[in-house]
Amino acid sequence: MFTRREKNECGLEPVTLKLMEEMLAGNRRALARLMSMVEDDGDEAHALLAAIHPYTGKAHIIGVTGAPGTGKSTLVNELAQVYRRQDITVGIVAVDPTSPFSGGALLGDRIRMRELSGDPGIFIRSMASRGSLGGLACATDDVIKLLDAAGYKRVIVETVGAGQTEVEIARTAHTTIVLEVPGLGDDIQAIKAGLLEIADILVVNKADKAGADTTVTILQAMLDLNSTAASVAAHHTPSPPAAGSEEAGSSSSALAVAWRSPIIKTVAIDGTGAEELVAAIEAHAAFLRETGLFRLKEKRRAEAELRRMLSHALISRFLDQMPPDTLSKIVERIVSREIAPYTAVEELLSGAGSC
C-alpha cells in the first residue's frame, strides 16, 4: 500500500487517492467512480492511471467481436458464468451496446442478477460511443486498466464488429474471439477473410439454427488457406506452398502461425459450448505465455499506446506555442490552393508559420 510520501509523488488529489486505495481493496463503488473519472479524461485521470500502472498487467483480456445481433452479449454472459463457477473473477466492458438488434439491451438477466445480488467477483461496465472512435478506444483501454488493477482476473470486452473496431479490439485483447452465425453468404466471404486474421478463436454461435456445420466447414477451409499463406510468408518461400511449411521456425511470425485458431460451435441462449470456449481461451492464454508471445503482444501494445500519447502531447505542445490563429490561417491558405498541406507542415515546423 502507498505511504504518505508516495501519495504526494503520485500527484493525486486526496479524494482520488482515497478512492484508489478503496478500489485496490476491492470496493466496487470506488471502482465505478474512478471509471467515470477516466472516461471524462483530464489531468487527474492521467495521474490516476500513472498511479495504478504498477498494479496492472495481471488480467487476461478477451475481446469478443462480431456483427450486430450475432449473440455476443448472450455469449459473454455464459462465459462469465463458467468463469464464476471456476471461482475466477470477471470484469466485462461492453462497448457501444446500442445496436438496434438488441434494442440496447446490454447483457442478459442472469449476469445482471448475479451482479445485483452482490457477487463481488463480477463487474460490468457499458460504454456508449461518444465522439471519435479513437477516443472510445482510449477510454476503453483505461477502463480495462482499472478492472485489471482492481484484481479482475479475466476482462471480457464486447465490441460490435464494424471494420475499424475489430482491429482496435485485436490490438487491446490478448485473445480475440470472432463470432459468426450460420448462413454465411458467398457475397460476404471477402469481408470475413479480414476477420479471420484477427481471430484467435472462431465461434459459430446460434448453432441451434440450420447450416451451422456448413458455416464451420467454410470457415475451416478459409482458415486452412490463410495459415498456408501465412506459413509461406513466414518462411519467405513464395512457391510452392508446401515447400516451406514443414520447417520449424523460431521467428515471431512462425510462432504466430503455430497457433491454429479453433472453431467452436455454441448456443449462447442455453450455454452449449461455453465451457469448451473457456477451455480454448485458457489454452490460448497458456500458448501465449509458453511461446513468449504474451510479452511480445504487451510490448507492441505499450509501444502503440506510447506513440499515441506522445503524438498527442507533442501536437498539443506545438500548437500551444503558436499564436492562436496560425492554424486557421494556414488552413485557409491550403483551401485556397495557395499552399500544399506538405508545404504547410514544413512551414509550421520551420517556424515560418508563426510569423
The contact set with ligand GTP (CB under 6 A) reads 68-74, 97, 99, 101-102, 160, 205-206, 208-209, 267-269
Q: Cα–chain-centroid distance for residue 141?
A: 7
The minimum distance between CB 108 and ligand GTP, in angstroms, equals: 7
Which window, 68-76, 241-249, 256-264, 308-316, contacts Mg ion (CB under 5 A)?
68-76
Which window, 3-11, 51-59, 99-107, 309-317, contacts Mg ion (CB under 5 A)?
99-107
294 binds, among Mg ion, ligand GTP, none (CB under 5 to 8 A by kind): none
Q: Which is nearer to Mg ion, 72 or 154 (CB)?
A: 72
The minimum distance between CB 205 and Mg ion, in angstroms, equals: 12
Q: Which is nearer to ligand GTP, 68 or 120 (CB)?
A: 68
Q: Which is nearer to ligand GTP, 227 or 266 (CB)?
A: 266
Give me the residue label for grid cell 471456476.
86
The minimum distance between CB 270 and ligand GTP, in angstroms, equals: 7
Contacts 24+ apart (CB under 8 A), 305-312: 305/141, 308/138
Contacts 24+ apart (CB under 8 A), 227-233: 227/257, 227/260, 230/256, 230/257, 231/257
> Quick one: angle between helices 43-52 and 133-149, nearest 10?
40
Which window, 78-86, 102-110, 230-238, 335-343, contacts Mg ion (CB under 5 A)?
102-110
Q: Which is nearer to ligand GTP, 104 or 238 (CB)?
A: 104
Closest CA to 88 of 66, 57, 113, 120: 120
269 binds, among Mg ion, ligand GTP, none (CB under 5 to 8 A by kind): ligand GTP
Task: Report helix, strand or coil for 264.
Answer: strand
Q: Which is nearer to ligand GTP, 30 or 203 (CB)?
A: 203
Which one among 16, 65, 70, 73 touches Mg ion, defined by CB under 5 A? 73
Give me the residue label for grid cell 460490468.
124
Distances 10 to 31, 145, 242, 323 between C-alpha atoms, Å: 18, 17, 56, 33
Closest CA to 331 of 317, 348, 311, 349: 348
**201 DSSP β-pair partners:** 177
Q: Which is nearer to Mg ion, 95 or 288 (CB)?
A: 95
Beta strands, E only, 134-219: 154-160, 175-180, 201-204
63 binds, among Mg ion, ligand GTP, none (CB under 5 to 8 A by kind): none
The minimum distance between CB 196 and ligand GTP, in angstroms, equals: 19
Task: Report helix, strand or coil for 216.
Answer: helix
Q: Which is nearer to ligand GTP, 175 or 266 (CB)?
A: 266
Q: Give the binding site for Mg ion (CB under 5 A).
A: 72-73, 102
